[in-house]
Structure 1
Amino acid sequence: MFFSTTLLVAFAASATAHMTIEHPVPFGKATLNSSPLGPGDFPCKQRSGVYDITEMNQWNAGETQTIDFKGSAVHGGGSCQFSITTDSEPTEQSQWKVIHSVIGGCPSNVTGNLPEDADGHGAATFPVKMPENIPDGRYTFAWTWINKVGNREFYMNCAPVQVGSGSNKASTASVSEALSSLPDMFVANLPAEECSTKAYEDFNYPNPGQSVVEGNGGSLGDTLTGAGCDKMTKMGAGNGQMGTPSQPEASQPASSEAPAATSGYAALPSNGGGVFAPGASSAPAAEPTPAESTAPVAAPTPTYVAEQPSSAPEQPAYSSPPQVPDNSTPSAPPSGSDCTPCDNDGAVVCIGSNMFGLCNRGCAVAQPLANGMSCSGGAVVASVKRSAKFPRAHLHRRHGSSLLI
């Protein structure tokens, strides 16, 4: 009885200590166990909640990320492949393309197992590079493992990955061009009775691809036995057709593509004119979408924003008055200028004898007069008398188009 109980406990401990990927974060992390696949588990260890997303893994084209594992039962190592498919929820019809192969020493280069620890992190880690030419979109990543020691088994974990921002839509042709030269995923031992690799051999994949490493001290072999090998080893090819990766939802644009404003008002014109609420069309304004409603929206502004009081003039206030067109660039006010109160918007205001300002929203900022001009009695005049006082309206137009240059 004691012997039987000991065997059961040892078996249970071994089953819970098998390996799972930890990064990238796998699908259905809460329901993923570490046991090998059964015949009905392919692909991705099918179960309830198999494609639940705990975390979307960002993995851009040309980027190298480190694959690491949790567990301790490494079964003397073996051989692993790292693959991707364009299907976000893969099926038996999905085609998997290998982006990296490890022959021997995966997930660890030891003779047996690591010290018993279901949450252990003593296995090796592997740098894997995403193909540089892979188009943006959502893919599914897979780690597959043919163990070296113990029962003939096949392990497979899957994880969701997002390549790029999704701003560049992928086509089937572009995906095919990027992935068609890569080998299909290799499958065996599913079940071992139909197609089995040989124990104590690090399986030497017949087509590992161009990105491949060989573990130190590997005992390479490619022995396969069973009547079902011709069919099973090609399961990774699925139906032999690559699809197109899905893109992010339209309601969730990338931050660089977010609308510039959500208040419904037009943008400020370059000539410093007022901002008007839309009213040219009789059609009602569209209701904001749910995605827009989550962004902060400014409080409603008056129809003509230019009439709002302000404690300090805004930059457009220094452009020339609208009566006289002026394509020149207005000069900015001196840094730290004080505001001189005024009540005649648009008029020239004398500030001392050699300074003037344009009254804007109850405020005039001092600016130096041009050489030969002075300000006296509320009017700008030439220092050298050439005539009597000019009409104020004439001065307003003239200085608006010349003295502000």
Structure 2
Amino acid sequence: MLSQAAFLLALAASATAHMKLDYPVPYGNSTLNNSPLEVADFPCKQRPGVYDITVMNQWNAGETKDISFIGSAVHGGGSCQFSLTTDPQPSEKSQWKVIHSIVGGCPANVEGNLVEGQQPGTFPVQMPSNIPDGQYTFAWTWLNKIGNREFYMNCAPVQVGSGSGASTQSVAAALSPLPDMFVVNLPSASCQTTHGQDFDYPDPGQSLVRGVGANLGHDLSNDGPGCGIMTKLGAGNGQLGTPTQPTASAQPPSSESPAATSAPAAIPSNGGGVFAPGASSAAAAEPTTTPTIPVAEPTATAVPSQPSSTPEQPVSSAAPQIPDNGTTPSHGGDCTPCTSDGAVVCIGTSQFGLCNRGCAVAQDLAAGMMCSGGAVVASTKRSFKFPRAHLHRRHGSSHFV
């Protein structure tokens, strides 16, 4: 009889005094009520202004914060999870990663609801020490122990470090090993926990506290397609993104909030926006100039005796072939400036050079050749006054009449 009375009192209290997140200061704090979620409310209790930022909660890597609540209808406690997502405005596609689980006694370790003068407990939760800087969305989820089968979820913006510097890869390295947030009782008709049990999460993660005297249980009714789909809602699309950078609209913590003791007076801004997947938010490094390897100026003594075959003076395949009469090129020592390496450069009318690293060294042309108009040509034209007999011998008389 007493237990039935306690149950009825719990139901009556739940109409006006459900629980909601106090710290970290939640999104849309002025519009957030303390009722459990309906299906359309997932995630973060959807409503107009659901992601309005009242306070940007500073919470650095490795730092422990005391999570606190407002309300008195604690429904005999139950089990809570504390999770993160990289999405600044989470949706049903967001993936939530659990950083801490409490099984039994959350948000208070009492048999029913709080009485006048009692306050819900505070729960220390540590931010992962390896999480990169950035702005994340924090979530508190709760499965109540007694009363209607309900699912509670409030969300809050948190900034780790300076709020910039993370990439998809670095965030994935920190959060991917953590379990996905567990969702049930949404709606309870499809999949629900058991009244009177402190639900024992199938994968609570390594950061876990079990409440004193907890009545552990993991029974789920309607364990069919409904449970198979619902319990995986916390996984979203199974893809972690990158946290956002600080925006100019982010507000410093209020002096009335616990955040005021640990958050900076102002949140730095670097323009905001979501990082492209895989890209780093770190400031781009100053461009550097690739050092130019100095090239020694060629000298006359470095000119080989056979320019057509030495690697120091490569001959372009497009360059005209220079006749070779067996003579040794002149080593005059003069350097004629040029621009196209490997090209043949006319030097006067009787000399040429191969352009090598901006310098063409003069060499004598073969007999019968000359430079004219920048090209090597024959210096004399062959006479066509040959004896007729010679023409017959070479071409045959039929070619000439």
The total of aligned residue pairs comes to 247
Distance verdict in 2 for CA 1:12–1:152, change over 3 Å:
closer
Q: For residue 102 of structure 2, give the secondary structure of its aligned residue in structure 1.
A: strand
The alignment's TM-score, normalised by the length of structure 1, stands at 0.58
**1:176 corresponds to 2:176:** no
Residue 257 of structure 1 and its aligned partner are, at CA, apart by 8.7
Choose which of 175, 186, 203 in structure 1 pairs with 2:199: 203
- The amino acid that maps onto 1:155 is Y
| Counterparts of 1:71 and 1:234, CA distance in 2 | 29
Asked whether the equivalents of residues 191 and 220 of structure 2 are also in contact (C-alpha less than 8 Å), the reply is yes
Cα deviations by residue, 1:50-97 (Å, 9 ceiling, x for unpaired): 111111100000100000111000000000000000001100000000
Asked whether the equivalents of residues 162 and 268 of structure 2 are also in contact (C-alpha less than 8 Å), the reply is no
| Counterparts of 1:108 and 1:93, CA distance in 2 | 31
Choose which of 138, 155, 159 in structure 2 pairs with 1:141: 138
| Counterparts of 2:23 and 2:267, CA distance in 1 | 28
**1:108 corresponds to 2:105:** no
Q: For residue 55 of structure 2, give the secondary structure of its aligned residue in structure 1.
A: coil
Counterpart in the other structure of 2:187: 191
Please give the residue correspondences for 1:19-30 in structure 2 after superposition, counting only pairs within 5 Å: 19-30=19-30
- The amino acid that maps onto 2:114 is L
Cα deviations by residue, 1:212-231 (Å, 9 ceiling, x for unpaired): 00000000000011130000
Q: For residue 173 of structure 2, give the secondary structure of its aligned residue in structure 1.
A: helix
Cα deviations by residue, 1:279-301 (Å, 9 ceiling, x for unpaired): xxxxxxxxxxxxxxxxxxxxxxx
Residue 12 of structure 1 and its aligned partner are, at CA, apart by 7.1
Please give the residue correspondences for 1:221-370 in structure 2 after superposition, counting only pairs within 5 Å: 221-226=217-222, 227=224, 228-249=226-247
Asked whether the equivalents of residues 16 and 33 of structure 1 are also in contact (C-alpha less than 8 Å), the reply is no
Q: For residue 197 of structure 1, give the secondary structure of its aligned residue in structure 2.
A: coil
- The amino acid that maps onto 2:240 is M
| Counterparts of 1:178 and 1:51, CA distance in 2 | 25
**1:125 corresponds to 2:102:** no
Greater Rg by CA: 2
Distance verdict in 2 for CA 1:257–1:25, change over 3 Å:
closer
Cα deviations by residue, 1:131-157 (Å, 9 ceiling, x for unpaired): 011011100000000000000000000
- The amino acid that maps onto 2:172 is S
| Counterparts of 1:122 and 1:18, CA distance in 2 | 13
Asked whether the equivalents of residues 246 and 267 of structure 2 are also in contact (C-alpha less than 8 Å), the reply is no
Output the aligned Cα RMSD.
2.5
Residue 256 of structure 1 and its aligned partner are, at CA, apart by 11
Counterpart in the other structure of 2:291: none
| Counterparts of 1:232 and 1:64, CA distance in 2 | 31
| Counterparts of 2:137 and 2:208, CA distance in 1 | 20
| Counterparts of 1:215 and 1:73, CA distance in 2 | 18
**1:51 corresponds to 2:47:** no
Counterpart in the other structure of 2:156: 159
Please give the residue correspondences for 1:28-39 in structure 2 after superposition, counting only pairs within 5 Å: 28-39=28-39
Counterpart in the other structure of 1:60: 60
**Identical amino acids, percent of aligned pairs:** 69
Please give the residue correspondences for 1:207-222 in structure 2 after superposition, counting only pairs within 5 Å: 207-222=203-218
| Counterparts of 1:103 and 1:55, CA distance in 2 | 29
Asked whether the equivalents of residues 15 and 34 of structure 1 are also in contact (C-alpha less than 8 Å), the reply is no
Residue 14 of structure 1 and its aligned partner are, at CA, apart by 3.1
Asked whether the equivalents of residues 11 and 147 of structure 2 are also in contact (C-alpha less than 8 Å), the reply is no
| Counterparts of 1:90 and 1:256, CA distance in 2 | 22
| Counterparts of 2:186 and 2:230, CA distance in 1 | 7
Cα deviations by residue, 1:29-57 (Å, 9 ceiling, x for unpaired): 11111100001110000011111111110
Asked whether the equivalents of residues 135 and 170 of structure 1 are also in contact (C-alpha less than 8 Å), the reply is yes
Q: For residue 89 of structure 2, give the secondary structure of its aligned residue in structure 1.
A: coil
The alignment's TM-score, normalised by the length of structure 2, stands at 0.58
- The amino acid that maps onto 1:211 is S
Residue 15 of structure 1 and its aligned partner are, at CA, apart by 2.1
- The amino acid that maps onto 1:76 is G
Counterpart in the other structure of 2:95: 95
